[in-house]
Amino acid sequence: MTVNAATTERRTAGRGRVTISDLAAHLGVTKSTVSRALNGYSDIAEATQLRVKRAAAQLGYRPLSHAQAIRTGRSRALGFVLQSDLHDGYRPFLSEFLAGMTHAASTENWTLTVAQAESEDDVLDTFERLIAEHKVDGFVLPRTKSADPRIDRLRAMDVPFVLFGRTARPDGCAWFDISGETAMAAAVARLADMGHRRIAHIGGAEGFHYTRLRAEGYRDGLRAAGLPWDPRLVCHDAAGHTDGRAAARRLLTLDRPPTAIVAAVDLAALGAYQAIAEAGLTVGREVSVIAYDGTPLAAYAAPPLTTFSVDSRHAGARLAALLIARIRGAAPEDLREVVEATLIVRGSDGPPVLTSHDLGARLAQSRAMGPLHP
Domain annotation for the chain: domains and CATH numbers: 5-62 (1.10.260.40), 77-178+312-340 (3.40.50.2300), 180-310+343-369 (3.40.50.2300)
d(CA 116, CA 112): 13
Residue 137 has pLDDT above 60, yes or no: yes
CB 351 within 8 A of CB 307: no
d(CA 93, CA 43): 37
Residue 333 has pLDDT above 70, yes or no: yes
pLDDT (0 to 100) of residue 87: 55
Say how many C-beta atoms besides its own lie within 10 A of residue 255's C-beta: 11
pLDDT (0 to 100) of residue 322: 98
Beta bridge partner(s), residue 337: 176
More confident call, 32 vs 211: 211
pLDDT (0 to 100) of residue 73: 59
Beta bridge partner(s), residue 164: 142, 176
d(CA 76, CA 108): 9
Residue 125 has pLDDT above 80, yes or no: yes
Give CA angle at 212 (207, 218), nearest 5°: 145
Residue 289 has pLDDT above 60, yes or no: yes
Residue 347 has pLDDT above 90, yes or no: yes
More confident call, 165 vs 70: 165
d(CA 319, CA 174): 9
Tell me the pairing of strands 260-263 and 111-117.
unpaired
d(CA 215, CA 349): 20
pLDDT tens sequence across 230-275: 999 999 999 999 999 999 999 999 999 999 999 999 999 999 999 9
Q: What is the mean pLDDT of residues 350-354?
A: 97
Question: In degrees to the nearest 10, what's the CA dihedral of 209, 211, 214, 220?
Answer: -90
d(CA 144, CA 320): 16
Residue 327 has pLDDT above 90, yes or no: yes
143: Cβ–Cβ under 8 A, 6 or more apart, which residues? 86, 90, 164, 165, 208, 210
Q: What is the mean pLDDT of residues 172-186?
A: 98
Instruction: Kindly report the average pLDDT of the chain as a whole number.
Output: 89
CB 340 within 8 A of CB 179: yes
Residue 98 has pLDDT above 50, yes or no: yes
Specify the range with the lowest mean pLDDT, choosing from 43-52, 74-83, 93-102, 289-298.
43-52
d(CA 164, CA 158): 19
CB 145 within 8 A of CB 254: no
Q: Is 268 left (phi over 0), alpha (psi -120 to 50) or beta?
A: alpha
pLDDT (0 to 100) of residue 8: 45
Residue 13 has pLDDT above 60, yes or no: no
pTM of the model: 0.79
Q: How many CA atoms lie within 13 A of 112 on its CB side?
A: 22
